[in-house]
Amino acid sequence: MVNDFIHQVTAVVEKNLSNEQFGVAEVADALNMSRSNLLRKVKKQTNLSVSQLIRQIRLQRAMEMLRESSLNVSEVAYQTGFGSSSYFIKCFREYYGYPPGVVHHGNEDLETENVSNVITPTSSKRRFIILAFAALTVALIIGLLRYRTRSPEVNTLEKSIAVLPFKNDSNDSSNVYLINGLMDATLNNLQKIKDLRVISRTSAEKYRNLSKSVPEMARELNVNYFVEGSGQKMGNRILLNVQLIEAPNDKHLWSRQYRREATDIFQLQQEVAKDIAKEIQAIITRDEQMRIEKKPTENLAAYDSFMKGSDLMRKGGRSNLEKAVDYFKKAIDDDPEFALAYAVSAIAYYYLDLFQEKKIYTSEIGYSADKALLYDSLLPESLIAKALFYAHRKEYQSAVPYLEKALEYNPNSILAVSFLSYFYNSHIPNTVKYLEYALQGVRLNAGSQDSTTLSHNYLHLSNALVQTGFVDESLQYIDQSIAYDTENSYASWVKAVVLFAKNDDAEQTKQLLRKELDKDSTQLHILQEIGKIYYYTGDCKTAYRYFKQFIELRKAHQLDIFGNVDLDIGIVLSKVGVKEESKKFIASFKHFADNDSSIYKHMHQAIYYAYLGDRVQTVSHLQRFAKEENYQYWILLFEKDPLVDPFKNDPAFKKVMQEIKDKFWKQHQEIRSSLEEKGLL
């Protein structure tokens, strides 16, 4: 029954009432339900999201406490799981139409007049005073409701914010790194607040030398607030001007001038971030506040070197990275326990090695990451550094927990999100996580400073969407990817295969792929795809022409990629009479399938046994694959593969393929519900 289920949810929430971190995931765990099922059931029975229901339960219990106990508003807020009394008052007013002080009239901190200190009257007078107080309360509530309907609504804008590049007000250009450092610190501290969506630095950086209106920038970045700043250093004093703007209507909300001694730079950074968060009513949890208030070092000389290194690192280029590492070394010399300097140093080494055929900084990355974790294991940068050490060694499974923990401590870390998206697509396939992080990446990196980056972000999102069955949505984003960079051949490739998934039009797919290949005939991803399309449509002679070019290029560049295509190549080679070479590719595919450690191992085995015509083994491996989760949409197209033509009408084969399809579409609906609940879709 509806009431029984909602009573269960209520009981679970009330049992954990004072725990402000007890949310949707925790309720789902306590009820032994999946998050998506919980969301769907609560929505159906209450027309509320789970988070709204949790807040409602907390507020109703708060009302009881205010009526029946002597606790003040702050104590009730704490006991019902609200992080701050101001946020509690805001939520209470929105839910009941009046502040909690109207209920709990004995609290000294209330917004209403204290009327509880009346001398105890005689019996008849007491009745009169009670009636008078009731009338006063009703009148006050009516007045509040009238005021509420006439006054502007409580701010309901999404708490999305971009920190624009701070300006150096001094003629001394040597101070630029310091002003940039203050901007970065403001950004980094705001990024630690989960209640905010903070756009990445690279997205805001492009406006440093551009003259655009605030509403224009707001539309491009999809944010509601901007922070602008300017400052200078005068002797040993820092002068910083900061203002907050409501972006859609270019409304100035708040400004402040900070004058601090250079020795108080950390207090200044913390104060700016907390003042901004307070102004837009962002909730800061106790843990977040502790992370914001934690000093990176007590050594100001070390921090100065760190800021100089960070400024160089942001400029990019190998030379700047090498110079940045030197500054980080100097910072560590001045403070051997400077965790942030160790962490960013490891990240710099990772990028120095990233595109090198021979890796030379493995030990430096490992040493710096371990030192960073030793001195601050809760620092997001320390965790990212350790993740990149594992990624450098291609141990991606070991890297992921560090990145996800970093994202827990810094919910707006575009670096952690980008790596997680990449890993879950390429190295440890998981379509749900890939889509979630691809969506986050687009939201955090909106309006990036160059069209190539934007094209790449939308390509990832489109690819993640089609993998999880959102074909139409995928096409929308792939068109945006191509619009930002018409030379992005990977986007054109994805569009061709997405259209094939939608329309099942092989001729259209061939045409699109040939058009892309005309631009550059050495594109391996296009060559293998067009070879497959011709093979699937029965034209092995043309397929061989493309596969032959693919084989030659892959061999010339000594690339170990697209091993999943080797069986198709082997079959085509056999069809055109190149028998010995065919055997090598078929054996190569079998080796690939046997050593596949991903969720697709049994799928690749099923493909191999389908080639052999072994129906029993094919079905057996498909049945084992059917137990997997989060597999790609393309799996559903297996029944169209020419290999299964001999037994695609076999009852056992049809049954297991139907199970795979049913499971995929059920999960698709769960993903949709979950993403809609989070506001990501």
pLDDT digit string, tens, across residues 511-561:
999 998 898 888 888 999 999 999 999 999 999 999 999 999 988 877 778
Report the pLDDT averaged over residues 46-56: 84
Whether the pLDDT of residue 203 is over 80: the answer is no
Which domain-ending residue is among 410, 441, 465? 410
Residues in CB range of 89: below 8 A, 6 or more apart: 73, 77, 99, 100, 111
Q: Average pLDDT for residues 475-503, to the nearest whole number?
A: 86
Per-residue b or e along 321-333, where b marks 16 or more CB atoms closer than 10 Å to that residue's CB: bebbbebbebbbe
Q: Which residue has the tokens 């051997």?
A: 336
Predicted confidence (pLDDT) at residue 382 exceeds the cutoff of 80 = yes
Same domain, residue pair 307 and 400:
yes
The answer for residues whose C-beta is within 8 angstroms of residue 537's C-beta and 6 or more apart is 506
- Residue 105 belongs to a domain with what CATH number? 1.10.10.60
**Residues 324, 222 share a domain:** no
| For residue 287, pLDDT beyond 60 | yes
pLDDT at residue 456, rounded to an integer? 77
Residue 86: pLDDT band by 50, 70, 90 thresholds? low
DSSP E strands: which ranges in 596-655?
none
pLDDT greater than 60 at residue 154: no
Position 681 scores a pLDDT of 66
Of the ranges 56-70, 148-162, 437-451, which is most confident? 56-70
Residues 213 and 309 grouped into a single domain: no
Model confidence pLDDT, tens digit, residues 549-602: 999 998 887 777 888 899 999 999 999 999 999 999 999 999 999 998 889 999
Strand-pair category, 167-168 with 160-163: unpaired
DSSP state of 639: G
pLDDT of amino acid 295: 92
For residues 674 and 40, is the Cβ–Cβ distance under 8 A?
no
Residue pair 225/161 in contact by the 8 Å Cβ criterion: yes
Q: Which of 237-246, 481-490, 544-553, 610-619 has the lowest mean pLDDT?
A: 481-490
Q: Which of 410, 438, 470 is the last residue of a domain?
A: 410
Indicate which CATH number applies to the domain containing 323.
Answer: 1.25.40.10
The answer to whether residue 242 sits within a structural domain is: yes
Domain residue limits at 622: 596-681
3-class SS of residue 572: helix
Least confident interval from 141-145, 223-227, 241-245, 338-342: 141-145
| pLDDT band at 1; cut points 50, 70, 90 | very low
Question: Which pLDDT belongs to residue 134?
Answer: 37
In a domain, 422, yes or no: no
Looking at residue 264, the DSSP 8-state letter turns out to be G
Look at residue 451 and tell me if it is in a domain.
Answer: no
Rounded-to-integer distance, Cα 19 and Cα 343, Å:
32
Q: Kindly tell me if the per-residue pLDDT of 258 is higher than 70.
A: yes
pTM of the predicted protein model: 0.62
Q: How far is CA 115 from CA 93, 110, 122, 138, 676, in A?
A: 20, 11, 17, 14, 47
Domain total in the chain: 4
Neighbours of 642 (CB within 10 A): 15
Higher pLDDT, 118 or 428: 428
According to DSSP, the residues that pair with 198 across neighbouring strands are 161
Question: pLDDT band at residue 138, thresholds of 50, 70 and 90?
Answer: very low
State the alpha helices, DSSP H only, in 261-413: 265-279, 286-293, 300-315, 318-334, 339-353, 362-375, 380-392, 396-409
Which residue among 375, 393, 410 closes a domain? 410
Residues 171-183: tens digit of each pLDDT: 777 788 898 888 8
Neighbours of 361 (CB within 10 A): 20
Bridge-based pairing of strands 197-198 and 160-163 is parallel
* Predicted pLDDT at 131: 34
Q: What is the pLDDT of residues 317-375, one digit of tens each?
A: 889 999 999 999 999 999 999 999 999 999 999 989 886 778 899 999 999 999 999 99
Q: What CATH number has the domain bearing residue 269?
A: 3.40.50.10610
Does 130 or 451 have the greater pLDDT score? 451
Asked if residue 295 is part of any domain, the answer here is: no
